[in-house]
Amino acid sequence: MERNFSEQELVRREKVEKLRELGLDPFGHKYEREDWARDVVSKYKDVEHDEFENMTDTAKVAGRIMFIRKMGKASFFTIQDRTGLIQIYISINDIGEDNYNLFKMADIGDIVGVYGKVMKTKTGEVTIKCLEYTHLVKALKPLPEKFHGLTDVEERYRRRYVDLIMNEESKKVAFMRPKIIRCIQNYMDSNGFVEVETPVLTTLLTGASARPFKTHHNAQNLDMYLRIALELPLKRLLVGGMEAVYEIGRTFRNEGMDTKHNPEFTLMEAYLAYSDLEGMMDLSEKMYQTIAKDVCGKMNFVFGGHEIDLNGPWKRISMTDAIKEETGIDFKEITDLDECLRLANEHHIELEEHEKAYGHIINKFFEKYVEEKLIQPTFLYGHPIEISPLTKKNPTDPRFVDRFELFIGGKEFANAYTELNDPIDQLERFEAQLREKNLGNDEANDIDMDFVEALEYGMPPAGGIGYGIDRLVMLFTEQDSIRDVLLFPTMKEKNKEV
């Protein structure tokens, strides 16, 4: 492939050859780093300048050169490791002419090792006085001068490696995400749950309403899907007696991309035998508050332009009551479908053929009038049965199911159920989904007869919940786009529309 190099890139490639002539590998070998930049700065930042005269403390660091100020026979440069920045003072008198000439070949972006004495400049900056300089890696491309200010912001996501070098906020989020996930795992484990793994490839479309990605198993000549949910395999484990299980894993939905959605995302689902909706509410509220306290050290966050307070107790309200608060319409008192259709028409709510049903109309009203107004953490419960095919019916009103969604900042953060464990009812729900699919709903579920048979062995009463981990991380890192919490988000091809 023919490539056109800039003048800077050509100069850097010439330096590669000069390094080889000196007997050095331009792309380096193992280096025994002993210290981190942040630790050195933190340890000595409060030591007075004059105290360093009698100190012999040394440090050995490695990282990328981010700044160079060459001044003849002595220079300053700054290196960055994963913890932060530290200044280096380098002089021909300390390392000799040959090594100083080697340093003079360095460019911003190169990776080097430095051993030296810890000191402090007259301006009070903790600095390492270089006694040994080691070239490690020659950067063939120059770093952008102000990468965060690129006019094409998508380049930050396409070249995440450069974004992480240049953007401290991106690096902070990247390191915070695994801490949040580890906190979730510790919380779940401490509450008696067991983390498990279930298949990514499946032959049936079940567990959620979503369009799948399709693939093909060559050896068996079998069309398969990438999973859209974790639910049914985990509930099989309840049947098997594991009783409290959860999984954090990649899930795939063949949908558009925006600031809140990515076609592959991280989902956590958890199921607890002998629990119910209330148990899942308590689990969720305490989990969010544990993350806030243990990882972030605060209970208030800015998300989507709103100040979110995670202190409890969180609001709990039914879907019909929430709609009544906004519109005055009490769908709980309405039993006639024609009346529902009339109200939908009055309020300019468009319905697909398969949506001309009591439950779908209620959901449409909720989406239009309520959803975006649920700013503070709110458990919204009492969903219509038509939009909840895997959920246990409410014992007092079978038009509704025992389900809740957690809303924060007008966005859904979790979806929970008192799980359906009646195999006869479950099969009827699957058959209803199949009818919807025949009416044109390409997100409806398939019939999973193996799961029905599993329920016939007896699944204990249970509560279950699913959390969008990416959106959860967005809240705790105060990011407005899912692309900022994914290291490698799905991107459209250059010069092509999504």
Does an H or E element contain 194, and which? strand 194-195
Q: Are residues 241 and 289 in the same domain?
A: yes
Query: Can you give the pLDDT at residue 149?
Result: 46
| Mean pLDDT (the chain, rounded) | 93
Number of domains in the chain: 2
Mean pLDDT throughout 20-46?
Answer: 97
CATH number of the domain residue 210 falls in: 3.30.930.10
Query: Can you give the pLDDT at residue 433?
Result: 80
pLDDT tens figures, 283-317:
999 999 999 999 999 999 999 999 999 998 999 99
Q: Are residues 66 and 196 in the same domain?
A: no
pLDDT tens figures, 320-333:
999 999 999 999 99
Q: At residue 445, does pLDDT exceed 90?
A: no
Q: Are residues 387 and 294 in the same domain?
A: yes
Query: Can you give the pLDDT at residue 146?
Result: 62
Query: Can you give the pLDDT at residue 497?
Result: 46
Q: Are residues 190 and 294 in the same domain?
A: yes
Instruction: Report which DSSP code applies to 118.
Output: E
* Domain membership flag for residue 319: no
Does an H or E element contain 340, and which? helix 337-346
Phi, psi of 461 (to 5 degrees): -50, 140
Among 445, 465, 73, 479, smallest CA distance to 285 is for 465
* Domain membership flag for residue 395: yes
Mean pLDDT throughout 82-91?
Answer: 98
pLDDT tens figures, 389-421:
667 888 899 999 999 999 999 999 999 988 989
* Domain membership flag for residue 326: no
Query: Over pLDDT 90: what percentage of the chain?
Result: 82
Task: Please report, as a single letter, which amino acid is at residue 287.
Answer: M
Q: At residue 150, does pLDDT exceed 70?
A: no
Last residue of a domain, one of 112, 143, 174: 143
How many Cβ atoms are within 10 Å of 103's Cβ, its own excluded?
23
Query: Over pLDDT 70: what percentage of the chain?
Result: 97
* Domain membership flag for residue 496: no
Among 66, 145, 72, smallest CA distance to 106 is for 66
Q: Are residues 127 and 176 in the same domain?
A: no
Query: Can you give the pLDDT at residue 223?
Result: 95
pLDDT tens figures, 91-127:
999 999 999 999 999 999 999 999 999 999 999 999 9
Last residue of a domain, one of 108, 143, 178: 143
Query: Can you give the pLDDT at residue 387?
Result: 86
Here the tokens at position 265 are 């995302």
Question: Which residues span the domain enclosing 301?
Answer: 165-314+376-484
CA distances in angstroms from 290 to 75, 173, 212, 239, 372, listed in the order given? 47, 18, 34, 30, 26
3-state secondary structure of 97: helix
Q: Are residues 96 and 169 in the same domain?
A: no
Helical packing angle, 168-190 and 277-291, nearest 10° = 140
Query: Can you give the pLDDT at residue 29?
Result: 95
Mean pLDDT throughout 422-436?
Answer: 87
More confident residue, 244 or 437: 244
Q: Are residues 445 and 304 in the same domain?
A: yes
- Residue 387 · residue 357 · CB < 8 Å: no
Q: Are residues 304 and 182 in the same domain?
A: yes
pLDDT tens figures, 218-263:
999 999 999 999 999 999 999 999 999 999 999 999 998 988 899 9
